[in-house]
Amino acid sequence: EAGRFAIQGVPAGSHQVRAEFLGFRTSVATVEVGAGATAEPDFSLARDYLGMETIVATAQRTPRLKLESSVAITTLDERQIEREAPQSTADMLKAVPGFYVESSGGEVGGNLFARGLPADGSFRYVSLMEDGMPVYDSTELFFVNADILVRIDENVQQIEAVRGGSAALFSSNAPGGLVNFISKTGGPVHRGNLRLKGGEAGLFRLGGNVNGPLGESGWHYSVGGFFRSDDGIRDPGFTASEGGQVKANVTREFDRGFVRIYGKVLIDSNVFFLPLPLVNPNDPDFVQGFPEDGTLTTEEGIGKVVPLPRGAGSITLPLDDGQRQEGGSILADFGYDLAEGWSIRNTFRWMDVDHSWNAILPFELVEADEWAQGFVDETSGGTGFRITYTESGQAFATPNGLLSLGGQWLVEKPLSNISNQFQIRREGGRHSVTAGAYLGHYEADNTWYFNDVVTEVANAPRFVDLEVLGPGGEVVRRVTNEGFRQYLPFFVNGTGDVDLVALFLGDEIAVTDRVDLDIGFRYEHDSFHQENERTDTFDVAGGTDAHTGLNFGSGQFETVEDEFDEWAVSVGANLRQSENVAWFARGTRGYKMPILDQFLFSGPDPDLEAEQVLQFEGGIKVASPKLGLSAVGYWLQLKDFPIQDAQVDPETGETEFVTVFAGEAVTPGVEVEVVAAPVPDLRLNGTLTLQDPHFEELNVTQDGKLVSLEGKQVRRIPQEIVEVGAEFDLGDLTLHGDWSFVGDRFSNNDNTITLDSYNLVDVGASYSFPLQGVTLFLDVHNVTDTVAEALTEGNPRVDEQLGAQRTLFLARPVLPRRIVGGVGYEF
């Protein structure tokens, strides 16, 4: 108690005693113990502000101190996660330099861009892991951002995020990095915590974890989870988010090894926020009558019925499901030390999740009268028009006179994955050699129902219908039906799977007492198999334009197959200049396999390629009593990468998946992570990313001509990202604040549509009641309520085709200000 520990039965003589405590640097002292006597050494531990003394296991075969690793790695412990109070998994990863994160779409469906690697969003080049195994072997699929499979809750003990470097050796398709969410596993003492949170817009969240020994059996356990309900900071008129997860694990440690079994059940639904209506790109503001906390998602879209051709009946659109995941995973981990420095470890993971994606997507804003008149002009006998609200039948009338031409899309996408990793290690002398194999099989089914709709431009808008009128006011043409401009302009039905085999070999060499060398190699073979239903065009009964030209399955299927072989190699070195300073350098050649879903549109003879990533990096790590610093410089080159989007013609609503294979993109950059304690009770922290992501070679067709975009900045990615924070420890009361800056970006490859830089401020406070384990907390996100002027993305489904900025436009801003408070209890 009170920081006093007793070690009994120590023989007389000289001994080294090592003292460790989470958040502090380890201290070692030599203690002389006399025969029959008691020695009482005192330890004063210095703060470890960047966790340099933390043992990290991600992206290295042998766990080692963060200071001694030759990778760029950020660690976030449970306390830091609570302080950040992230509103989503993606939101938490903003704390990692080199990662640019867009989290304005809501709690799931975030985008992460690593070290300037060009992507259409998602987590394309970064693998998300739970307890050392990928949550899914493909880092992205269409309508699957990897964060849909991960929730940060009270079960998480630590997050380890590796940028670039050896990440390419430890997971398929991860040259940009790895993020490992490490679970609590319990120990010899029962511990637990409970957090109750509430906030604006009907937010309620209850989460907790309890862990400890299972009697005297030698087993220990950890179990926890959360439930959350939220009307949404952008209220669509229905519950925006509802659900939760339960996670548990049990561990048995024995003399020469361990066995651990994990389980997770996830049932959760979250609305997906998309671009909003704005005017004046030089000084953005919402269009007249649209509030800053508004959304173009609406409860009128719930339960809409879409007729299906070929006697298939109809389908009901569950818009209120948002992005919904229902399923779970199991992981079994076994390690055993053999004789003479040999050891083995085997990790098996199974997952199965039914995923669906539901949203209303705006494509274009139009003047209602002009849009309607266009149909009058092309209709024989048309002399006028009538626009009415679908549900009420009342005449259309809004302050802005605008309509939103968009889509209501339903994507049904069951996912499954089985994987197993076996490794054998031999430690002896100055070498630690590891060899192993990773086997994986993953599947993804696809059924897509795209529909074109028209609504007013207002918060939680109403659907509208258009009729063309003749000279006597009679209806001569019904353009829409129930707010639908077109039923099923695009339909996909397919099922695919991938078998992968990866072999790896690595050697960690202690060259001297101060120099370590890390060499690794990975070879991977992927076999793709895809079955796609061919489509045809049909009409259905109904008598409106919406009922004609439906795209639907013909009942005939085609098979697509392909195979790829790729390899990665990485060499890193760490030089410990002193107890507090280490230097490291690394060179890596990595890869990214094609995405399974690309075979949905490749045809029977696919022309797809694997991508290659070349990286060189080096930096310094410092851990002193008042300063923690990590600074990394890097150069990255990506070849043969695809730029692939669902592009929508704003005039016709026609959807096309377009792929452009670029020749080369390059990013030189600098990442800095620093924590300082200049005076007692004050902690300053910050991250800085400076980078220049640009195309070295990219040729696209514009107006029938081939145009080079060499030198253009990679779209959606800023050159500057800054995060600065301060924390004041006033005893039982703690105050903290954070300021972040995101530099200018472009919404299209040609750099003609600009997204201006913006700043955000978050603040928070907590008060702990001494000796009672109770903490009250309050967090305010986006204190200044910066919204319209802080745009995270443009309208990616349309901006490439528009080619130039318009006065009236669509873009997605950050989430509005939100106040959240609650109480926590620890025991």
Is the model's pLDDT at 400 over the cut of 70?
yes
- pLDDT tens-digit map of 361-399: 999 999 999 999 999 999 999 999 999 999 999 999 999
Q: What is the mean pLDDT of residues 428-448?
A: 97
Q: Does 16 score more than 80 pLDDT? A: no
Is residue 527 helix, strand or coil? Answer: strand
Tell me phi and psi for residue 147, to 5 degrees: -70, -10
In a domain, 24, yes or no: yes
Contacts for 126 with CB less than 8 Å, ≥ 6 apart? 99, 112, 114, 139, 146, 167, 174, 176, 177, 178, 179
* Cα separation, 610 vs 544, whole angstroms: 45
The answer to whether position 154 is within a domain reads no
- Residue 25 belongs to some domain of the structure: yes
Calculate the CA 301 to chain-centre distance.
27
Average pLDDT over residues 443-451: 98
Once rounded to an integer, what is the mean pLDDT over residues 119-136? 95
Domain of 28, in residue numbers: 1-45
Which pLDDT belongs to residue 1? Answer: 42
Query: Tell me: the pLDDT tens digits for 195-214?
Result: 999 999 999 999 999 999 99
Within a 10 A sphere around the Cβ of 62, how many other Cβ atoms?
12
Domain-located, residue 12: yes
DSSP character for 163? E
- What number is the average pLDDT over the span 68-86? 93
Spatial distance between the Cα atoms of 560 and 608, rounded to a whole number of angstroms: 12
Torsion-angle region of residue 687: left (phi > 0), alpha (psi -120 to 50) or beta?
beta
With a CB cutoff of 8 Å and minimum separation 6, the contacts of 23 are 47, 48, 51, 77, 79
Q: Assign residue 731 a region: left if phi > 0, alpha if psi is -120 to 50, beta otherwise? A: left
In a domain? residue 209: no
Query: Does the pLDDT at position 658 exceed 90?
Result: no
Cα separations in angstroms, 581 against 52, 574, 739: 10, 11, 28
DSSP H/E element including 461: none
Report whether pLDDT(22) > 60. Answer: no
Tally of domains in the chain: 1
**Global confidence as pTM:** 0.92
Choose the weakest-confidence range: 5-19, 405-419, 471-485: 5-19
Higher pLDDT, 641 or 83: 83
- Is residue 29 domain-resident? yes
pLDDT tens, position by position, 83-94 = 999 999 999 999
Distance CA(719)–CA(715), nearest Å, equals 11
Q: Is 156 exposed, middle or buried (0-12, 13-18, 19+ CB in 10 A)?
A: buried
- pLDDT tens for residues 751-799? 999 999 999 999 999 999 988 899 999 999 999 999 999 999 998 877 7
Q: Is the pLDDT of residue 159 over 70?
A: yes
b (16+ CB within 10 A) / e for 705-725: eeeebeebbbbbbbbebbbeb
pLDDT at 25: 61
Residue 655's pLDDT band, with cuts at 50, 70 and 90, is low
Q: Which of 522, 529, 534 is nearest to 565 (CA)?
A: 522
- Residue 433 located in a structural domain: no
Question: Which 3 state secondary structure label does DSSP give 240?
Answer: coil
For 16-25, 493-502, 612-621, which range has the lowest pLDDT when averaged over its residues?
16-25
Backbone torsions φ then ψ of 214, nearest 5 degrees: -100, 80
pLDDT one-digit tens code per residue, 723-744:
999 999 999 999 999 999 999 9
Query: What pLDDT digit, counting tens, does each position of 672-725 carry?
Result: 999 999 998 999 999 999 999 999 988 877 777 888 889 999 999 999 999 999
What is the DSSP secondary structure assignment for residue 79, as one 8-state letter?
H
Share of the chain above pLDDT 70, in %: 94
Is it the case that residue 645 has pLDDT exceeding 60?
no
